[in-house]
Structure 1
Amino acid sequence: MLQIGLIREGKIPADNRVALTPAQCKWLHKNFDTIRVVAQHSDTRCFSDKEYVMAGVEVKEDITRCDVLMGIKEVPAEQLIANKTYLFFSHTKKAQEHNQQLFQAILKNKITLIDYECLTHEDGQRILGFGFFAGIVGAHNGMMAYGKRTGLYNLNRVYQQKDYRNLIHTYFGLKLPTLKIAVTGSGRVAHGVLEIMNLMGIHEVEPFEYLHRQFDYPVYVDLKGRDLYARKDDGTYNRDDFHSHPDQYKCLFSPFAKQTDILMNGVYWDKSIPPLFTVEEFQSEEFSIKTIADITNDYHGSVVVNIGDSSIEEPIYGVDKKTLQKTTAYQNNVVDLMAVGNLPNELPRDASRYFGEQLIKFVLEDLVKGGSAIIERATMVKQGKLTPAYEYLREYANGNG
């Protein structure tokens, strides 16, 4: 019998998403004699303790007897239980400095860490993630911000809607002005953005048309890897080569920055990938972007003027084009920026349901069996020791790096 504990989110501000919904727990209990789910008491989950109890899930404070503990965001180091197996988004695989102490505590407490972000199919495709709903909410917020800036239309907040279905209903009758939107990326985030573009009735156009034509209706362009990057030496693009040698590529976004009103950024980024635009381009008169929804949300990342997180309560801040300082949004000579790190929290029940479905479909049976290639690829730490695939984090683990 595998006892799974759904832990209370300890990171502040508390995340309200869950790895498994009450209905999914009920289904697991009915279909697997080998799985039992226990939920730790929580006042902040999008599903209440009562909903779990009604689904036949035991809710209690003490979860130390569970074999596997599942959360969503990073577990505060002081809340870790030694010698347990944890599944959560640790945000440590890129040696993120702000989570170094957490990673060291995982090793010290002889914990096994299976990181959701590292659960992949054999071809490297990620299995789990909230990217689609991040894209949904991020695109909505970007459109909302542009409406506030121009006063040409009005969109309410996503979290004021009960669920995704209700959100869709708010787009009926929405009349948008003439505008150009650049969508970057090809993963789950971009798919979520495109969903909103289509629901709002915004027309897709090809990159060449986007750059060389004016339209009297709202349009968007979907820019994928080959539209955004090319080798410095011969101008070609190969996806695998790009991910292996991003430093040998240049970014091709510059012409689009001169033709775009709203940038919806969903592109993957790490330190050696060139940003979409430089500070100098941002400050130039030709830079036409007024609103940036940085859904990927890397500090000084693909969007170099991302100068820190915004919050669900206050999702938009301004970046002064001259000083590059954070300021009030919707002013002249200011670009409005959304940089919320927990966007799916605005649609937590839908996002959790989707996440749990993938977890059940691709991961849980392997956990019950005691492992698989999928589990092995995602196990960053096993009983307090770095696994071979993550040996590159040795310095980070030792307190350097």
Structure 2
Amino acid sequence: MKRLIWLRHETKPFEQRCCLTPKACKELLDLGHDVIVEKSPARIFEDAEYEAAGCTLAETSSWTGAPLNAIITGLKELDDQDFALSHRHIHFAHVFKNQTGYEKTLSRFIKGEGKLFDLEYLVDENSNRIAAFGVWAGFAGAALGIDLWTHTQLSMDYNKRAPLLPYSDQLKMIEDVESRLKKIMSRPRVLVIGANGRSGQGAVKFLKAIGIEPTKWGSKDTRDIGPIKEILDYDILINCALIKEPRAPFLDHETLKLDKNLTVISDVGCDPNGPCNPLPIYKEGTTMDAPSIEIKDGLHLTAIDHLPSLLPRESSEDFCSQLLPHFKNFLNNEIEDSPWERALEVFFEKSLQVNPEIVDFVGNTPIEPTLM
């Protein structure tokens, strides 16, 4: 069955990534689907690349007027607006952990009877994500952590480097960070929490590329304990832990009053407004415009929630290659017992929590078996 895919422009500042590359769109067109791509001055791939692939170009942010059968495909969350959402949407919504504004966002879907397939909740039968930017988040998060530490050692204000700009590839990022690190004789002691996951592996990859062998902690090292005073012995903490349930914090304000070597935290997890935040020592994430804040007594933190944006081309190509086979199944309506069904189940469950009176919206069964 022919489907209509609508790739929207990303409105989040500094966001150049996308989940469908021109090459991927060409494959979808060859399968007989229609692909409309919004013009975007920000996207890492040029409009002309999509046009050359055979896609139809549409005006920026025109998805609101798209036919109801259009599958609105994006990456980051939608702008905070009031109108109801009636389409099927695919993106990272950041609402299923009760983050700030989650009730309003889900209420918009309920009102418009739209559906949300959150990319974060596309998981296989073992609850493993089928597509993720994690490696690139960890890679970039480690780079920022090292660079922030270097700036503190040189008594330089890291925020004066802002805005942080994307790199053409990972080698350019490594060379840039190394160019400043070489000015310092010593090397920091670095702890990576969540080292066995995608983000942690990316962080370790970057650190090894610049000659630093970090201490690596997995879930067994942090389970059922906290605050963890041993963290204070390190110069840099890179938090890559994936936390799905509330737990004792890795650090809190009381622990930070103790003597410490710790001068930099790079929080790749970056969930300051969620109930699962293992670092409740800051209230807002940092940004490309202001990448660091001082927490207390010379302890600096960077926590940017879209770190892979610093490597937009490589991260987009990698993510798309992971997602595309599953997206093709989705378009073929092969969603029973699939990542798409599991994501939709979460959407319905959370929608019912927001408004228990929406049985008609959800249907008599937990899942409606078709896309339409």
Contact 1:87/1:113 (8 A) holds in 2: yes
In the alignment, residue 342 of structure 2 is paired with which amino acid? R
Amino acid at match of 1:281: T
Aligned counterpart, 1:207: none
Q: Distance in 2 between matches of 1:117 and 1:52?
A: 25
Which residue is equivalent to 1:325? none
Distance 2:80 2:177 in 1: 43
CA RMSD, aligned part only?
2.7
Q: Does 1:52 align with 2:46?
A: no
In structure 1, the residue matched to 2:217 is: 223
CA deviation after TM superposition for structure 1 residue 268, in Å? 1.8
Cα gap change, 1:153 to 1:27, in 2 (>3 Å) = farther
The one-letter code sitting in structure 1 at the alignment partner of 2:27 is: W
CA distance in 2, matches of 1:316, 1:358: 32
Deviation of 1:87 after TM superposition, in Å, equals 0.5
Please tell me the residue identity of whatever aligns with 1:163.
D
The CA deviation at 1:106 is 0.7
Is the contact between residue 293 and residue 300 of structure 2 (CA under 8 Å) also seen in structure 1? yes
Give the alignment partner of residue 127 of structure 1, picking from 126, 130, 154: 130
Equivalent positions of 1:33-182 (< 5 A) are: 33=32, 35-61=33-59, 62-63=62-63, 64-65=66-67, 67-76=70-79, 78=81, 82-151=85-154, 159=165, 161-170=167-176, 175=182, 177-182=186-191
Match of 1:250 in 2: 225
Q: How does 1:2-401 map to 2 (within 5 A)?
A: 2-10=3-11, 12-13=12-13, 15-30=15-30, 32-33=31-32, 35-61=33-59, 62-63=62-63, 64-65=66-67, 67-76=70-79, 78=81, 82-151=85-154, 159=165, 161-170=167-176, 175=182, 177-185=186-194, 186-203=196-213, 220-229=214-223, 249-251=224-226, 253-257=228-232, 259-270=233-244, 272-285=246-259, 287-299=260-272, 301-320=277-296, 333-373=297-337, 374-380=339-345, 387=348, 390=349, 393-397=351-355
Q: How far apart, in 1, do the equivalents of 2:55 and 2:88 lie?
A: 20
Distance in structure 2 (CA, Å) of the matches to 1:270 and 1:123: 15
Structure 1 residues 153 and 102, CA, compared in 2 at 3 Å: closer, same or farther?
Answer: closer
The question of whether the paired residues in 2 share the 8 Å contact of 1:261 and 1:289 is answered with yes
Q: Which TM-score applies when normalising by structure 1?
A: 0.77
CA displacement 1:36-95 (0-9 Å, x = unmatched):
321012222222222211222211135513531101111235486753211111112112
Give the counterpart letter for 2:251 in structure 1: F
Over residues 105-148 of structure 1, what are the superposed CA-to-partner deviations in whole Å (9 max), with x where a residue is unaligned?
01110102111111001001011222211111111000000100
Q: 1:195-237: CA deviations, max 9, x gaps?
A: 101111112xxxxxxxxxxxxxxxx1010011112xxxxxxxx
Aligned amino acid, residue 20 of structure 1: L
Q: Describe the SS at the equivalent of 2:15.
A: coil
How big is the shift at 1:290? Answer: 0.3
Deviation at 1:98, TM superposition (A): 1.8
Does the 8 A contact of 1:265 with 1:292 survive in 2?
yes
Q: Percent identity?
A: 24
CA distance in 1, matches of 2:131, 2:100: 24
Instruction: Tell whether the 8 Å contact from 1:297 to 1:306 is kept in structure 2 after alignment.
Output: no
Question: How far apart are the structure 2 equivalents of 1:393 and 1:135?
Answer: 31
Whether the 8 Å contact between 2:84 and 2:109 is mirrored in structure 1 is no
User: What is the CA–CA distance in structure 1 between the aligned matches of 2:168 and 2:111, rounded to whole Å?
Assistant: 42
Q: Deviations over 1:164-189 (max 9, x none)?
A: 24334446776462321000003211
- Superimposed CA distance per residue, residues 285-317 of structure 1 (whole angstroms, 9 cap, x where no aligned partner): 2x2210000110121721121231111122111
